[in-house]
Every structure is written in structure tokens, then in C-alpha cells.
Amino acid sequence: MDEQTATPKARTMEFSTRLKDLRAQSALSQEQLARRVGVSRQAITKWESGAGRPELESLVALADVFTVSVDALLGVDDAHVREYVESVAQA
């Protein structure tokens, strides 16, 4: 399944994997990342396991820490956005 046809649950799992990978690439522990984002280590654990989702403010902070866009962090690309806008316009 590609990201454009992924269900919300599948996208959550993809986000959790992406978050784990970015944290590992940055050589940050969950505790270190939590401090930089302003949340608990348990919140990072939930996000990485797919058991929870970050609030908007935390997503922005994560994107800043990893120097990526929120869209990239969530796995949303321009083609996906265009497809969504077109589907709404046709409805």
C-alpha cells in the first residue's frame, strides 16, 4: 500500500516509523527528544508505537528538531494534497 492510498491507521504507523527513524538518525534518546519538544518521554514512546498522536504544536516542534516540514514528517506530499483538493472539488 502506498502512502496516497493508506488508511489513517496505516499513516499513523508510517508516522511512528518515520519518527523512530528520524530520532535514530539524529542520535537522540527518547528523553532527549522529549526535552527538546517539551513533552514527556512517555509521549514520545506512544507516538513511536502508534498508540498516540502528537498535538499540532508538538508536530511543529518535531519538524523543527529534525529540520523537516510537518508534511514530510506526516508523509504528505504535494500529489496527495492535490488529489484531496480535487476530490473535494468534485464532491
Decide if pLDDT at 5 tops 70: no
Q: How confident is the model over 16-30, as a mean pLDDT?
A: 95
Q: What is the pLDDT of residue 71?
A: 87
Q: What count of other Cβ atoms lies within 10 Å of the Cβ of residue 49?
A: 11
CB 31 within 8 A of CB 38: no
Q: How confident is the model over 59-85, as a mean pLDDT?
A: 84
Q: How far is CA 47 from the centre of its chain?
A: 9
Q: What is the pLDDT of residue 89?
A: 80
Decide if pLDDT at 62 tops 80: yes
> Which regions of 23-91 does DSSP assign to beta strands (E)?
none
Q: How confident is the model over 10-28, as a mean pLDDT?
A: 85
Q: What is the pTM of this model?
A: 0.74
| Contacts with 11 (C-beta within 8 Å, 6 or more apart), sequence order | 3, 74, 75
Q: If pLDDT is split at 50, 70 and 90, which confidence band does 1 have?
A: very low
Mean per-residue pLDDT over the chain, rounded = 85
